[in-house]
Amino acid sequence: MARIVMKFGGTSVADIERIRNVARHVKRETDAGHEVAVVVSAMAGKTNELVGWAREASPMHDAREYDSIVASGEQVTSGLLAITLQSMSVDARSWLGWQIPIKTDNAHGAARIMDIEGSEMVRRLGIGQVAVVAGFQGIGPDNRIATLGRGGSDTSAVAIAAAIKADRCDIYTDVDGVYTTDPRIEPNARRLNKVSYEEMLEMASLGAKVLQVRSVELAMVHNVRTFVRSSFEAPDAPGMGDFDNPPGTLICDEDEIVEKQIVTGIAYAKDEAQISLRQLDDRPGVSAAIFGPLAEAGINVDMIVQNISGDGKYTDMTFTVPHGDLQKAVALLTESKEKIGFDQVQSEAGLVKVSVIGVGMRSHTGVAATAFKAMAEKGINIRAITTSEIKISILIDGPYAELAVRTLHNVYGLDKA
């Protein structure tokens, strides 16, 4: 039969009863004859509690000890699920990141996976043992636990699926798939049957919270077919055991999608902030002087707009950063004012980025014009625009976010099957 990696998030393992429900999902697949590896997150709220304790102990804590603390949540969950599976007569064994091992770099708290030695896990899967893996963690070059950043269990699952050559990676969460937009904003949002890796990568990076961005990157690089499914569906519900066509959304190569929509979905990201540098010296190297220090400080710059200089001497530059990084970014720029060469820095918070995404945009014209016309008709001012082959992002004032999402969802016909 097939080899499957099943990943369950924090809400899916929030208490013992939900862990029993997860175990029933796992047993369904083992009863069907599949080889199964399971990746689990910490119980809902547990990681936040552990982070709080670390910060209370010392605001300036050692990153290596921080990782040791916060990784313990997944350790508890993996052990509890293994015990529960054993009580259901399923041969199961828990694994921590260092036991596989999942080798990472040395960036504690935001480590990247470098290599996974999965041969022993594959051997045990072959004799029918379920591997229950603590997500979010690996082992660094210093032989200490290293965590992968928030949402890192998604990355663990996809990486393990690639390492053991799984036929599929099922990401179980509290939603039953990927939708055309947030159903909480647009009740007519539809669940998508298939989404390409590129589209999902854009959606994840532009505000959709279904999957961690790095997990989608890994899935795309290693061509790991990934299903987003709901753990709250009854394990024995119709279709749940259908390997070829289970309920949920398949994230796959674009070639698997026969009918490509012009627009697949609308994503949005709140808490964007805008920074403008006025009377900026228009000379070679000025952009590097601005964005180099911001990058070194770990501040992600997104939308960039530069006005054309009329006199060849001065120009204005506007860009966006996450709201949480606004004060740090302004402080860095102010410190470097003389070196960069600008008159003043202006900033504004509370903005929203709304994005139109779809691989079909590559071969169709007028997609951007439709969005701009729709915003104009609703009286929504566009502050900045960025585009790629498969996405258009616009920056607008925060109070118009929901109106913009609903308007774009409707104008592209995403509410229609």
70 token code pair: 């916060």
Burial of 22 (0-12, 13-18, 19+ CB in 10 A): buried
93 is in an annotated binding site: no
Residue 294 near residue 320 (C-beta atoms within 8 A): no
47 is in an annotated binding site: yes
8 is in an annotated binding site: yes
Which of these, 153, 25, 166, lies nearest to 85 by C-alpha position?
25
227 is in an annotated binding site: no
Strands 130-134 and 137-139 come out as unpaired
Rg of the chain taking only CA atoms, in angstroms: 23
128 token code pair: 């029918």
Rounded Cα distance, 182 and 26, in Å: 29
285 is in an annotated binding site: no
Residues 6+ apart with CB under 8 A from 29: 4, 6, 36, 241
Strands 194-196 and 249-252 come out as parallel
3-state secondary structure of 100: coil
7 is in an annotated binding site: yes
Going edge to edge, which strands form the sheet with 145-147?
Answer: 113-116, 102-104, 137-139, 145-147
DSSP state letter for 191: B
249 is in an annotated binding site: no
10 is in an annotated binding site: yes
74 is in an annotated binding site: yes
Rounded Cα distance, 325 and 330, in Å: 9
179 is in an annotated binding site: yes
H helix runs in 306-366, sequence order: 326-335, 337-340
373 is in an annotated binding site: no
Which of these, 304, 365, 314, 374, lies nearest to 343 by C-alpha position?
314
HSE on the CB side for 266, CA within 13 Å?
Answer: 29
For the chain, helix, strand, coil in percent to 5 are 40, 25, 35
9 is in an annotated binding site: yes
Instruction: Report the binding-site residues for substrate.
Output: 47, 74
Instruction: Report the binding-site residues for ATP.
Output: 7-10, 173-174, 179, 184, 209-210
Instruction: Report the binding-site residues.
Output: 7-10, 47, 74, 173-174, 179, 184, 209-210
